[in-house]
Structure 1
């Protein structure tokens, strides 16, 4: 279907996605097609066990490079770009100098576990306050404890914060700051220091009901000065995020593109999957696996296992919320098999190995490399294989690793069904894992639901572009955007209930052993 409109003479929107493993820029036309695309790998550093860092300057340089390549490789005229959207890895934290823009420490990535002791020291009352106020479970995964660690360990940082020199932000705030830093005389010479509701809701210091930074939690996590935090704006806003300056790249030649949206990556994927109705659900299989369900305009009821988070917001509109299950390691387990222990060389080899055996023969793998996220929230859990016998081969291990991605997603699906009281019959899936026929069929079987795969797997960058175009008037409304979604493949459940429950019982037993690991060695 071809979409036509008279809102603008522009031809494209641009979307920038700064993820964990890579940065991409896409140019998207009015029919929702990506007409130009550029990608660069984001380097990660592991300076100590459990630590994960990135160089903020590398992230920014990758944005500049991919923007230039996406525009110039197809000879896109900058004047034909209606607006731009930003999406990003959410809980990763960056600190930089307000005056020079120079990073004051490496980005502490969401996977980083150095702050786990800070979380362990929280008492039950404080934990309950965090859950009630922010919708999140106390965990090192989120940004707040990273701020406290930086204030406690980086020489002079606390005094620089109090003097108004040091600022903290998630990756979107860092990228928007750099994109909008203009040359003298440009429209926004002073950089924009802002984030949106969806990213703020992942910091563990943001009140998702009152829509403001919570001063009690800011004090708890190191005495954070509110002036050191970005302004929180609607996810879609025509003027809150400034314009991409020609200082960002010479390709703009004095022309400035308005940034009209900012959205966390998982919320962007939910938007890109056009999950606009309450109950709509998507699962993204990436470095981690993230399952989100649209919860409508009201904060979901209290959940002990799932996260309550902000989906997106529009300028002058109501907040849209989501229920989320965050699985901290899934695709990373495949990379561990490839690069960590060098047993198989690629994702295809892993899938081929898994399909050489007819079942897991009782072998399970729990990828708790840095604890377990939803629905268990156990920072002390550790990864394990269980059920090994003399018959166990590398093929069984490969199958167990692939199956673990589905079992963890099924944990979340069942939790969402319990929370909402509704059976989930359709799930939209994306991310790298959605390219695996084995994985998606097993997901359909274990969830007893249809699994729908879109024509494009780049739903995060597409969703960011959709929201930007909706805000700038490139598209006229959600119904028009709905029509842009195209089905690529569908998987239907075929497993008998008895087999499904037998496999799931084995998985839950493996998880119990994983969660008992820390106490068993004390």
Structure 2
């Protein structure tokens, strides 16, 4: 019987589970929408039992024809989403707070004022943000001062692993997204946590991504085919798992992970982080591969911008086919409209949660097709900012990017990205890189593969398409980027930074 690996992904838009063989071939995938709830005050949340029910249904569907052949389970998820669990009862004490929920903005500012940003960055690889677990925990303590008693903070991945095994555990890449973990020492920062009245016992033991934290011990899952005792691993940050799947584990390969949020991810051999890395505006962390760090920077509302616009331009949501038809009617040259994709604040290299989206340069002759194309251009310009920052850190130009995610199906978007960046964009013949990366990390951690290189050698990484920049278009976009986009981006950033100072 051939060995099968189960990958699980708890994502912002969908939760998925997929079965892969040792060569990375996807045998079966199941996907269901992630149910996000909103309060009148704008707070977003997930119901833990609902998320588990969705994931459990996906597992059941995915393994239906592969019962008893699953040899390892690897779990990945959106990085900063988390909740508190009662250690004694195992029941959720809080709702699951999404990474994008802004309820902990005040707490993030409080943390910022209490710390030396460069010192914290050298230990954590991060700047303070409402997204991280620490400000979320301080917000929860405001609601009830005893809420952390006998509790443990789990990421979405950790929660699913706990439901499967009854064991608490996490990996380095997700632990770091709490802002309470030292990536330089790979341990919880006890004195830092204590300064906020928190104890390191509030957090699970952290391991290298893919290390089994326990074994399948969930009666429900065993009844529909997962074997008792199957190793279960927290495989880490979703974007970094995708990077593993496409081979972006060395400095020469950069990943563009295109989802609701879009992120450029690169890697390098671990070394101390300092002023140079801090000034880059990028975030850093432990890669899912041993002895590597990753750098990361992106746009929290890339695919999210497109989904938002699809809802605004039609009484019923604009179909993808209609959107592609409209794009086919546009010229290859820049639209002349500048779109700043800050629907959820701005990301790297100039993060500001208070920044707002903007269109600049609209004229009465512009139509739906121009607005749509300008949004694709704006997300590409924003990623160009990240690219330039990463190039300064690496000391060399980025010339090739491997792109994954739903956005890769939009050929117009991909050409715009190549034209704006000046990079060749390669699209691997992998439909579910995040899931595959989760499965691969778990396979490495449980010894199915000796190391990441053996895993990559076994997995056929063919590219179904390569998009090269059209030189004339690249020159035109570069002129707009340098003369207009950078100027207006700085003005907008200054304006919203001043707004931040007025809060």
**Normalising by the residue count of structure 1, what TM-score does the alignment of the two structures yield?**
0.88
Instruction: Name 2:476's counterpart in structure 1.
Output: 499
Deviates more, 1:460-469 or 1:258-267: 258-267
Which residue of the other structure, out of 338, 341, 351, is the alignment partner of 2:324? 351
Aligned length: 490
Q: Is the 8 A contact 2:85 2:93 kept in 1?
A: yes
- C-alpha distance 367-421 of structure 1, shift in aligned 2 (>3 A): same
Encode CA deviations 1:186-245: one digit per residue, 9 max, x unaligned: xxxxx211100111111111111011111243235x4222212111112122x4333353
SS of the counterpart of 1:291?
strand
Q: Is the 8 A contact 1:453 1:489 kept in 2?
A: yes
Query: Using the alignment, how far apart are the partners of 2:5 and 2:381 within structure 1?
Result: 37
Deviates more, 1:15-24 or 1:469-478: 469-478
Q: Is the 8 A contact 2:141 2:147 kept in 1?
A: no
Encode CA deviations 1:440-476: one digit per residue, 9 max, x unaligned: 1111112211111011231100111112222333334
Instruction: Name 2:107's counterpart in structure 1.
Output: 118
SS of the counterpart of 2:206?
strand
- CA shift, 1:338, in A, is 2.1
Q: Is the 8 A contact 1:368 1:381 kept in 2?
A: yes
Query: Using the alignment, how far apart are the partners of 1:31 and 1:250 within structure 2?
Result: 28
- CA shift, 1:49, in A, is 5.0
Query: Using the alignment, how far apart are the partners of 2:493 and 2:217 within structure 1?
Result: 47
Encode CA deviations 1:471-517: one digit per residue, 9 max, x unaligned: 33333443333232121111111133531321213222342343244
Alignment partner of 1:395 is 2:369: yes
Instruction: Name 1:282's counterpart in structure 2.
Output: 255
Alignment partner of 1:159 is 2:146: yes
Alignment partner of 1:325 is 2:297: yes
Query: Using the alignment, how far apart are the partners of 1:374 and 1:196 within structure 2?
Result: 24
Q: Is the 8 A contact 1:85 1:260 kept in 2?
A: yes
Query: Using the alignment, how far apart are the partners of 1:488 and 1:61 within structure 2?
Result: 35
SS of the counterpart of 2:214?
coil
- C-alpha distance 459-228 of structure 1, shift in aligned 2 (>3 A): same
- CA shift, 1:81, in A, is 1.5
Alignment partner of 1:89 is 2:78: yes
Instruction: Name 2:224's counterpart in structure 1.
Output: 251
Query: Using the alignment, how far apart are the partners of 1:378 and 1:283 within structure 2?
Result: 21
- C-alpha distance 241-404 of structure 1, shift in aligned 2 (>3 A): farther
- CA shift, 1:39, in A, is 0.5
Encode CA deviations 1:154-190: one digit per residue, 9 max, x unaligned: x3xx32423x2x221111111111111xxxxxxxxxx
Query: Using the alignment, how far apart are the partners of 1:50 and 1:306 within structure 2?
Result: 28
- C-alpha distance 247-499 of structure 1, shift in aligned 2 (>3 A): same
- C-alpha distance 58-293 of structure 1, shift in aligned 2 (>3 A): same
Q: How does 1:451-490 map to 2 (within 5 A)?
A: 451-483=425-457, 484=459, 485-490=461-466
Q: Is the 8 A contact 2:70 2:226 kept in 1?
A: no
Alignment partner of 1:430 is 2:404: yes
Q: Is the 8 A contact 1:135 1:307 kept in 2?
A: yes
Encode CA deviations 1:91-141: one digit per residue, 9 max, x unaligned: 012112222222222211111112122223432843333222211011112
Alignment partner of 1:179 is 2:168: no
Query: Using the alignment, how far apart are the partners of 2:494 and 2:109 within structure 1?
Result: 16
Q: Is the 8 A contact 1:381 1:516 kept in 2?
A: no
Q: Is the 8 A contact 1:179 1:245 kept in 2?
A: yes
Query: Using the alignment, how far apart are the partners of 2:161 and 2:429 within structure 1?
Result: 30
Instruction: Name 2:415's counterpart in structure 1.
Output: 441
Alignment partner of 1:105 is 2:90: no
Deviates more, 1:80-89 or 1:489-498: 489-498
Instruction: Name 2:268's counterpart in structure 1.
Output: 295
List alignment gaps of at least 5 residues for structure 1. Answer: 1-8, 181-190
Instruction: Name 1:367's counterpart in structure 2.
Output: 341
Query: Using the alignment, how far apart are the partners of 2:357 and 2:320 within structure 1?
Result: 20
Q: Is the 8 A contact 1:366 1:514 kept in 2?
A: no
- C-alpha distance 62-135 of structure 1, shift in aligned 2 (>3 A): same
**Normalising by the residue count of structure 2, what TM-score does the alignment of the two structures yield?**
0.92
SS of the counterpart of 2:80?
coil
- C-alpha distance 491-116 of structure 1, shift in aligned 2 (>3 A): same
Q: How does 1:121-140 map to 2 (within 5 A)?
A: 121=110, 122-123=112-113, 125-140=115-130
Q: Is the 8 A contact 2:248 2:267 kept in 1?
A: yes
Alignment partner of 1:77 is 2:77: no
Encode CA deviations 1:341-377: one digit per residue, 9 max, x unaligned: 6476133333332332224432111121221110111
- CA shift, 1:520, in A, is 6.7
Instruction: Name 2:27's counterpart in structure 1.
Output: 35
- CA shift, 1:340, in A, is 4.9
- CA shift, 1:50, in A, is 5.0
SS of the counterpart of 1:468?
helix
- The CA RMSD measured in Å over matched residues stands at 2.2
Query: Using the alignment, how far apart are the partners of 2:446 and 2:183 within structure 1?
Result: 26
